[in-house]
Amino acid sequence: MTKVREFKEKERYTMNLLVKNVTKGVTQKGAPYLNLVLQDNTGTIDGKLWDASEADMAAAKPGHVEKLAFEVLNYNNNLQLRVNRIADLDQDLIDLSEYVMSAPVEIGELKARISGYMDSITDPTLKALVKGMDAFVGKKFYDYPAASSIHHSYLGGLAEHTLGMADLAEAIAGQYPVLNRDLLIAGVLVHDLGKTAELGGLVSNEYTLEGKLIGHISIGHGWLMETARELGLEEKQETLLLRHMILSHHGRMEFGSPVLPAIPEAEVLSFIDNIDAKMNTLKTALSTMKPGQWTQRMFSMDNRQFYKADLD
Amino acid sequence: MTKVREFKEKERYTMNLLVKNVTKGVTQKGAPYLNLVLQDNTGTIDGKLWDASEADMAAAKPGHVEKLAFEVLNYNNNLQLRVNRIADLDQDLIDLSEYVMSAPVEIGELKARISGYMDSITDPTLKALVKGMDAFVGKKFYDYPAASSIHHSYLGGLAEHTLGMADLAEAIAGQYPVLNRDLLIAGVLVHDLGKTAELGGLVSNEYTLEGKLIGHISIGHGWLMETARELGLEEKQETLLLRHMILSHHGRMEFGSPVLPAIPEAEVLSFIDNIDAKMNTLKTALSTMKPGQWTQRMFSMDNRQFYKADLD
Amino acid sequence: MTKVREFKEKERYTMNLLVKNVTKGVTQKGAPYLNLVLQDNTGTIDGKLWDASEADMAAAKPGHVEKLAFEVLNYNNNLQLRVNRIADLDQDLIDLSEYVMSAPVEIGELKARISGYMDSITDPTLKALVKGMDAFVGKKFYDYPAASSIHHSYLGGLAEHTLGMADLAEAIAGQYPVLNRDLLIAGVLVHDLGKTAELGGLVSNEYTLEGKLIGHISIGHGWLMETARELGLEEKQETLLLRHMILSHHGRMEFGSPVLPAIPEAEVLSFIDNIDAKMNTLKTALSTMKPGQWTQRMFSMDNRQFYKADLD
Amino acid sequence: MTKVREFKEKERYTMNLLVKNVTKGVTQKGAPYLNLVLQDNTGTIDGKLWDASEADMAAAKPGHVEKLAFEVLNYNNNLQLRVNRIADLDQDLIDLSEYVMSAPVEIGELKARISGYMDSITDPTLKALVKGMDAFVGKKFYDYPAASSIHHSYLGGLAEHTLGMADLAEAIAGQYPVLNRDLLIAGVLVHDLGKTAELGGLVSNEYTLEGKLIGHISIGHGWLMETARELGLEEKQETLLLRHMILSHHGRMEFGSPVLPAIPEAEVLSFIDNIDAKMNTLKTALSTMKPGQWTQRMFSMDNRQFYKADLD
Amino acid sequence: MTKVREFKEKERYTMNLLVKNVTKGVTQKGAPYLNLVLQDNTGTIDGKLWDASEADMAAAKPGHVEKLAFEVLNYNNNLQLRVNRIADLDQDLIDLSEYVMSAPVEIGELKARISGYMDSITDPTLKALVKGMDAFVGKKFYDYPAASSIHHSYLGGLAEHTLGMADLAEAIAGQYPVLNRDLLIAGVLVHDLGKTAELGGLVSNEYTLEGKLIGHISIGHGWLMETARELGLEEKQETLLLRHMILSHHGRMEFGSPVLPAIPEAEVLSFIDNIDAKMNTLKTALSTMKPGQWTQRMFSMDNRQFYKADLD
Amino acid sequence: MTKVREFKEKERYTMNLLVKNVTKGVTQKGAPYLNLVLQDNTGTIDGKLWDASEADMAAAKPGHVEKLAFEVLNYNNNLQLRVNRIADLDQDLIDLSEYVMSAPVEIGELKARISGYMDSITDPTLKALVKGMDAFVGKKFYDYPAASSIHHSYLGGLAEHTLGMADLAEAIAGQYPVLNRDLLIAGVLVHDLGKTAELGGLVSNEYTLEGKLIGHISIGHGWLMETARELGLEEKQETLLLRHMILSHHGRMEFGSPVLPAIPEAEVLSFIDNIDAKMNTLKTALSTMKPGQWTQRMFSMDNRQFYKADLD
């Protein structure tokens, strides 16, 4: 079946797509219409359904995979769908992996490599805390994106981001003896686990109420306090240092860290979080551009534009 | 016995004082000396012990009440002690209340009034959470200062600050129906409890390691998560809102709140925390000045100077 | 007669409304149309008049109550009017109170309670200054909104805001003896009087030229200097302190205060101005929402979103 | 008589100097001493009077010219006086111009040139306002410094600063027709008149209470409102524009302007105020240095260091 | 021929205009259209070409002068063109000066006056550097705008801006002896030459790749290093000072100056750059407005609005 | 011979040390003395020479190795020297490597490894530019510190910092295919070469005049422009990208970069510059502390304190 990434201007298709978002509008002439965001596992595209009937409006359900008939138009140099019909489907028969994007690395491999990092920690307190947190979060660790839209926003994104950081951490810890390798790796493995309560998951792609009122940093820190108490490790220095790493990993108070890094490992953690997120963001932004072009201003890159050079 | 507040220039005394702080120095001529900060329950004063012997240096122990012989000098319009002898005492025989300042309200009354506010909460979830946190912290709530030096830095200061805020909260909640009174009072009662782990207590007057690496906001928030789970209230909306109030009560990210107030009660909590702290700071600063004078620049008042007017 | 707040989707009405604002547009096909903001004393609503004739354009006069025929549409989940006809009316026959919103407290009561606060000042200098300023401003005090759009933007809003602050001031002055109650109340009563020259009043709802070039803080301060000179009070300390309170009441230079609060009463004045404005803003924003919803980002609340919780 | 600028290391003198400032200290050995700031019309120098007697302390009066005996020492490459004796004098016999620095331009010439600028204004409203303000302030205009320490801090400094700005204004107005020359000149002539109430004058060299609580911008603006009302010009557009220029002349809210420049003349006024102040500051700082040297960090130059180049 | 500035609502014209910019769109009904920015030497105007054919889309070439048939409409109080036909022309036959705006001063006069300033420099090193830079840049100096859109954005704008600054520099250097006149004039003459590589020139009106990746400050500084080395002047103090003036002329690091002004001439250079740019910006903005009106918020004036007063 | 790091309290030594810095003072009693900063290749220590004679003052020459007799004192928990005699030496007989600190890696090895990175670049333009810059700077690359005091401030520090960054670059480029490895390595090798003109070298340890007026970023960028022109590579895209990397490597305008990173390699360069500098700073700060201690506030670490944990 044709995929979103392969859509061509002026072609017509009838096919299933995930309805990511629906808003209603009314034209200047008073006719109702629907703004749709549609998606499969290769990309996302905007659509309009003009002269929407009551039936259309009832059928268009955010989070559902639905059957649509549409034509592909070019609007300001972007493709857009003009949808003619929409019908809901029996969601139980859907294979969701066709409709949400996945990490480029296979989930099984992500799990194996992250487990390898957990096992490689030799400090018993840190290993127990990391494994306790992993058990607490469970499968969600591999189902979640790392952010709702900015970077690694796909199935397995949180795990892929964690693994990318662990690889960076291993290389940097090997280069600077002032760093305790076990503490840095443990910090990487737990720093973002609170995101599994902050975000609603891939399909809804929204912040939860807990996410907006509390935030993943404080959620994850609270879980680590609970985990440590259950394991009888709440008085250990390693526990205090690992809690500090979760709290300080955004590196600046205005980015939501209530304390700033005060140990070398926390300082490095905030750097590698930043590097891995930005490399993923730039990869995504530049991958669909031609050499010699500039990106739009990118909010998550301090509102800068980036240039795609013409090197081999 | 003469109190610190009553010391007079050029007088000599031999008496017991709490040694708050000791640092060693050496004069230009190579002679060792001690800088001392000394205290009783009426105030604090600097002292110097010149030509310090090994015995002097061994005797001067921070946190101990000791026997000192000294003369009172005027140095740049401030009184200062020139200490001639210092001797340690049996600390078990000391009545500490003679040497640390106390809240102007008697502790028993603070307890009674704060208990009254706890009992006045009608929402069962909020009442259970507040009482659970109170049980967790216990007696420390009434022994602790509200800050190491800025405001309410005396025995019972944390409780006095909490009570002052509760009185403000009651008045404001009565004026604006958009506020839920129970939630606001509950927020007042728990917002600063983490300070009992952040600060080392009145005598040492220092931040703990947990205080510096974690901070009272995240400590208190973690305790509330643990308390809620023990009480089986972790899924309640009230729990989420109360957690949010602890996290947001500094009102600005650069002051260490990882999230900003997002409900009216949290907004008001950050205001009344600020008002009560600043009124206490100004009371202390202005109480010893004459009308027509200006204070020094005050760090905790955004580095401003304040004027003491001549009104009745 | 049906009120704006009661309008229903797809209904048609012919009725009188205040034309708050008119801008002209032209459609992609070259046809002229009018964007209208329409209002009665229950609310404000946008409207479009398509294919506007010269007569339509002449009839639509901002600040006039006019007769309109229209249909109510749903546009992006907001109601909007599709206006078919518009005709001007004899403005002398209009009862404006039907078309502008009023403070929830009746004007007579506002006057009585504010007069009560004026009379309660015992310091003769402060009382004379406050009464002098009141006489200078006169009736406008009770006709004006407190802001053009952000908070208390309705008939009597300025007086209601002043009264709300006076109630807060009375409660806070009673709790902190470091505050001079008369000075604080006097500051509340005069702090915003300059707004009667800064704003054009409720119907026009715009800043005046003096408002934009000078601002209500400097206007009010100048009036107080003139008032004091007329009363022979220009050398009094109380005059200086009250002038300082007007100038510093925005609390931060970047908010337009040329000096920062330097007496406790000025510090509290800036706090209670903030609290009363924000409580009014939140009341308005949350009153039309359902529990569980979030507001839009609110410019006057530091661009934050607020959550309407589901508490009783 | 030898002047301060001519003092030489290791010389001894007995002579009269203005006592600018006195603070008391006590040495490590308990002996009282005085820190003095002493001055004549060529400069300022620090002094110490060790082992100060009660008589010394009584004699040293800030603001008085006194007779001193002292030796000149080199302390960290700065000259400093070691004062041995100090005696008060009959202040009525003193010619103050020997002890305070004056503008390099003679006062009579300053007056003549500033009067010339006043007379050159052709707009009758602006001319009346400027002359009314000049009459209000009177002789102080020519006695005052332009700042307590930063720039033009000498007798006639305020007038010299005003004149320097008027010369700049004339040149710039001639170059850009978008500027109204009369309005710009009028703005220059009145913008800083409030400083005659903000500062205590040359000898005391301190901010007044009105200066600290109100500031020269709001003082001058209030005077202009009073002047305009007396002249019956309060409704004139020129009055509003001139008030705006006083208020906005610091160019940034964080520098104390409650409104920002909103007409071209106000924009230029803030630039030329800045240029004239900075040129005077740099002239003073560089005049005593050798080519190839750097200044200290200069607070009033955004904390920068400046380099004195070796050009002819 | 009618000029853009003279267009009247509802008139129809067929005439040649420069196509400054083209973007494609598609209407809600799926029909393609073109957004055009069109220009002659009196102004710029937006246009729409509805139902664009393939031929229309091929004909509309940015940077070309083309023949258009259109009607003038009023859209939100701005004039806009509804284009019916568009046809490309032989660009070799076009006199570009009809289609791009020019400095109000004639180019020949700009050249003569700038040459006069170059010849007036008496310091041989500075004169050689300025003439070397001038030879390097050549004719572009007089063809370029001073900015892509903000100020002096017309043929000869860079030279006119430079000359305006030189006139200011001459006046200010004459007033303050602390300034070296030759160094200041030399700084004015070379400070913006890098713009001839930063901008693509008047017709394209875009930043070059070098402009975006390097910026005119660093381009010009590099050219001066190369020029100095060719002339054997790289070790001269004057060279170092002139390099410093190029680098520091934006006056603040956040505006792209890698160092801040550290000599008086550099400080003044940044002021007069600012003054001349802002006077030109305000002249342009106010010239088409009526007295009593306010401008839009102006990005290059710190987002302020300006008022056009009614003075003669 | 005893080294600075081995000095013990109350011991007396006569030995040679490098005089890093000399300032003169005068005691309260009028006696001249010298403040000295003394150094060997293990560390730096302060000293005082009381009652300094003319001969002492003449002998103490900054930058010279001299013979000193002194006693070691404890002053506020820091060791300090009380110098009794000082005599200059024949500087030609001195082996400077005994008196300045060196990088922990041997210079020969630094050279070999950096040459290896140069040879590993396969892009011919980038390789030619890097080798051209290396030839231009020559031996200084291996003699210079990377900063005057903050990080890598020892013989070979610049080369060690460059090598540390190259190792990081190699690891990160291997992990993220969006990065061009050759460009990143080339950027690392040239980014700080301007420091060899910005700093005066290890013994003087001061910024040069060119360093203060121009800065190493603009110096290095200018050299690269000159190098590219000599090699005929000034029009190559690689040259432009490498110039951009030098200019943007501080990552923020307020840190002196005139442009912000706009290609992925420039973004990473600013990160790894930061990481290597901070790891070196922390290593130095923590190496002399005991576990459980906090550092002072560190200016180059955003004024934070760091904690030395007790992990193995």
Run means of pLDDT, 10 residues per run, chain F, 312 residues: 88 92 78 89 89 89 90 83 92 82 84 96 98 93 77 84 98 97 98 93 78 97 97 97 98 96 98 97 89 91 94 76
Show the tokens assigned to D254.
């964080």
Question: Do D76 and F209 make contact, defined as CB atoms within 8 angstroms?
Answer: no
Give the closest-approach CA distance of F235 to chain D in angstroms. Answer: 37
User: What is the rounded distance in angstroms from the CA atom of residue E212 to the CA atom of residue F244?
Assistant: 9
Residue E100 pLDDT: 82
State pLDDT tens for residues E57-70: 888 988 789 999 99
Residue D77 exposed, middle or buried by CB count within 10 Å (0-12, 13-18, 19+): exposed
User: For A92-117, what is the mean pLDDT?
Assistant: 87
Question: Do C258 and D210 make contact, defined as CB atoms within 8 angstroms?
Answer: no
User: What is the rounded distance in angstroms from the CA atom of residue F301 to the CA atom of residue F312?
Assistant: 24
Q: What 8-state DSSP symbol labels residue E134?
A: H
Question: Above 80 in pLDDT, residue C201?
Answer: no
Q: Which residues of E touch D161 (CB under 8 A)?
A: none
Spacing of C-alpha E198 from chain mean position: 11
Give the closest-approach CA distance of C219 to chain B in angstroms. Answer: 25
Alpha helix positions (H), chain D: 54-59, 107-120, 124-137, 140-143, 157-175, 181-190, 195-198, 209-213, 216-230, 237-248, 264-287
Nearest to A260 among F171, F176, F304 (CB): F304
Question: Above 90 in pLDDT, residue A177?
Answer: yes
Assign B203 a pLDDT band (cuts: 50, 70, 90): low
Question: Do A307 and F262 make contact, defined as CB atoms within 8 angstroms?
Answer: yes
User: What is the rounded distance in angstroms from the CA atom of residue A276 to the CA atom of residue A270?
Assistant: 10
User: What is the rounded distance in angstroms from the CA atom of residue E306 to the CA atom of residue F283?
Assistant: 55
State pLDDT tens for residues E262-283: 999 999 999 999 999 999 999 9
Assign C290 a pLDDT band (cuts: 50, 70, 90): confident
Closest CA to D216 of D148, D282, D307, D284: D148
Nearest to C213 among D214, D226, D262 (CB): D262
A36 touches A83 (CB < 8 A): yes
Q: Give the number of beta-carbon pairs within 8 Å between D and E.
A: 100
Give the closest-approach CA distance of B296 to chain D in angstroms. Answer: 14
Question: Above 90 in pLDDT, residue B113?
Answer: yes
Nearest to C254 among D218, D240, D253 (CB): D253
More confident residue, F286 or A102: F286
User: What is the rounded distance in angstroms from the CA atom of residue A78 to the CA atom of residue F178?
Assistant: 24
Q: Which long-range contacts (CB under 8 A, 24 or more apart) does B38-42 make?
A: B38/B4, B38/B68, B38/B81, B39/B4, B39/B99, B39/B100, B40/B3, B40/B4, B40/B98, B40/B99, B41/B3, B41/B97, B41/B98, B41/B99, B41/B100, B41/B101, B41/B102, B42/B3, B42/B4, B42/B5, B42/B6, B42/B101
Nearest to F262 among E212, E253, E257 (CB): E212
Residue D175 pLDDT: 97
Spacing of C-alpha C201 from chain mean position: 9
Question: Do D27 and F25 make contact, defined as CB atoms within 8 angstroms?
Answer: no
Nearest to E74 among C26, C209, C212 (CB): C26
Alpha carbon distance, N-terminus to C-terminus of chain A: 33
Closest CA to B220 of A221, D56, A184: A221
Residues paired with residue B49 on neighbouring β-strands, in sequence order = B34
Interface with chain D: mutation pick from C208, C209, C214, C240, highest number of D CBs within 10 Å: C214
Give the closest-approach CA distance of D54 to chain F in angstroms. Answer: 20
Show the tokens assigned to D178.
């978008």
Q: What 8-state DSSP symbol labels residue A154?
A: S
Show the tokens assigned to A71.
């034509």
Q: What 8-state DSSP symbol labels residue C208?
A: -
| Percent of chain A residues topping a pLDDT of 70 | 96
Q: What 8-state DSSP symbol labels residue A236?
A: -
Nearest to D257 among C209, C222, C258 (CB): C258
Neighbours of chain C (3+ CB pairs under 8 A): A, B, D, E
User: What is the rounded distance in angstroms from the CA atom of residue B185 to the CA atom of residue B162?
Assistant: 10
E15 touches E74 (CB < 8 A): no
| Percent of chain B residues topping a pLDDT of 70 | 96
Question: Above 70 in pLDDT, residue C161?
Answer: yes
Q: What 8-state DSSP symbol labels residue F7?
A: -
Measured on CA atoms in the order C62, C67, C70, C73, is the torsion positive or negative? Answer: positive
Q: Which residues of F touch D74 (CB under 8 A)?
A: 24, 26, 32
Question: Above 80 in pLDDT, residue C87?
Answer: yes
Q: Which residues of B touch F73 (CB under 8 A)?
A: 26, 30
User: What is the rounded distance in angstroms from the CA atom of residue F16 to the CA atom of residue F2?
Assistant: 10
Do A and C make contact via 3 or more CB pairs under 8 A? The reply is: yes
Question: Above 80 in pLDDT, residue B207?
Answer: yes
Q: Which residues of B touch D23 (CB under 8 A)?
A: 76-77
Show the tokens assigned to C12.
């048609």
Nearest to E26 among A74, A294, A307 (CB): A74
Q: Which residue has the tokens 């003052």?
A: F57
User: What is the rounded distance in angstroms from the CA atom of residue D250 to the CA atom of residue D82?
Assistant: 42
Residue F288 pLDDT: 79
D41 three-class SS: coil
> Which residue of chain A has the CA closest to E29?
A50
Question: Do C25 and E76 make contact, defined as CB atoms within 8 angstroms?
Answer: yes
Residue A149 pLDDT: 66
Residue B312 pLDDT: 67
Interface with chain E: mutation pick from A27, A34, A74, A303, highest number of E CBs within 10 Å: A74
E201 in the Ramachandran plot: left (φ > 0), alpha (ψ -120 to 50) or beta?
left
Question: Above 70 in pLDDT, residue E28?
Answer: no
Show the tokens assigned to B173.
């909640």
State pLDDT tens for residues B150-166: 677 778 889 999 999 99
Assign B95 a pLDDT band (cuts: 50, 70, 90): confident
More confident residue, D282 or A63: D282
Residue A103 pLDDT: 77
Question: Do C222 and D217 make contact, defined as CB atoms within 8 angstroms?
Answer: no
| Percent of chain E residues topping a pLDDT of 90 | 63
State pLDDT tens for residues C204-228: 667 999 999 999 999 999 999 999 9
More confident residue, E41 or A258: A258
Do D and A make contact via 3 or more CB pairs under 8 A? The reply is: no
User: What is the rounded distance in angstroms from the CA atom of residue B121 to the CA atom of residue B127?
Assistant: 6
D238 touches E311 (CB < 8 A): yes
User: For A68-78, what is the mean pLDDT?
Assistant: 85
Q: Which residue has the tokens 């302190």?
A: C241
Assign C172 a pLDDT band (cuts: 50, 70, 90): very high
Question: Above 80 in pLDDT, residue A274?
Answer: yes
Closest CA to F204 of F110, F129, F100, F71: F100
More confident residue, A204 or E104: E104
| Alpha carbon separation from C156 to B15, C40, C101, C284, D252 (Å, rounded) | 66, 16, 9, 16, 33
Question: Do D307 and E262 make contact, defined as CB atoms within 8 angstroms?
Answer: yes
| Percent of chain E residues topping a pLDDT of 70 | 96
Helical (H) or strand (E) element with B81 = strand B78-88
Assign C139 a pLDDT band (cuts: 50, 70, 90): confident
- What number is the ipTM of this complex? 0.85
Do D and B make contact via 3 or more CB pairs under 8 A? The reply is: yes
Residue D288 pLDDT: 79
Question: Do D212 and B27 make contact, defined as CB atoms within 8 angstroms?
Answer: no
Assign E35 a pLDDT band (cuts: 50, 70, 90): very high
pTM of the shown model = 0.89
Question: Do D294 and F26 make contact, defined as CB atoms within 8 angstroms?
Answer: no
Give the closest-approach CA distance of C19 to chain E in angstroms. Answer: 18
Question: Do C26 and E71 make contact, defined as CB atoms within 8 angstroms?
Answer: no
Residue D21 pLDDT: 83
Alpha helix positions (H), chain E: 54-59, 107-120, 124-137, 140-143, 157-175, 181-190, 195-198, 209-213, 216-230, 237-248, 264-287
Measured on CA atoms in the order D268, D273, D279, D282, is the torsion positive or negative? Answer: negative
Question: Do B168 and C164 make contact, defined as CB atoms within 8 angstroms?
Answer: no
Residue A217 pLDDT: 98
User: What is the rounded distance in angstroms from the CA atom of residue F65 to the CA atom of residue F71?
Assistant: 18
Query: What does residue E107 show for φ and ψ, rounded to 5 degrees?
Result: -60, -40
Interface with chain C: mutation pick from D253, D254, D257, highest number of C CBs within 10 Å: D253
Q: Which residues of F touch E225 (CB under 8 A)?
A: 222-223, 225-226
Interface with chain B: mutation pick from F73, F79, F297, F308, highest number of B CBs within 10 Å: F73
Give the closest-approach CA distance of C146 to chain B in angstroms. Answer: 18
How wide is the angle at C-alpha F101 spanned by C-alphas F100 and F106, nearest 5°? 120
- Collect all residues from F whose CB is shorter than 8 A from any CB in A: 123, 164, 167-168, 171-172, 175-180, 182-183, 237-238, 241, 260-264, 267-268, 271, 274-275, 278-279, 282-283, 286, 301-302, 304-307, 309-311
Assign A144 a pLDDT band (cuts: 50, 70, 90): confident
pLDDT tens per residue, chain D (312 residues)? Answer: 789 989 998 899 999 999 988 888 877 677 889 999 898 888 889 999 998 888 898 889 887 899 999 999 987 667 899 999 999 888 888 887 788 877 788 889 999 999 999 999 999 999 999 999 999 999 889 888 887 766 777 788 899 999 999 999 999 999 999 999 999 999 999 999 999 999 887 666 678 999 999 999 999 999 999 999 999 999 999 999 999 999 999 999 999 999 999 999 999 999 999 999 999 999 988 987 889 999 989 988 999 999 999 886
Closest CA to D187 of D199, D175, D200, D172: D172
- Collect all residues from F whose CB is shorter than 8 A from any CB in B: 27, 48, 50, 71, 73-77, 80, 82, 294, 305, 307
| Percent of chain C residues topping a pLDDT of 90 | 64
Question: Do B254 and A253 make contact, defined as CB atoms within 8 angstroms?
Answer: yes
Question: Do A218 and B214 make contact, defined as CB atoms within 8 angstroms?
Answer: no
How many other C-beta atoms can be found within 10 angstroms of the C-beta atom of residue C58?
11
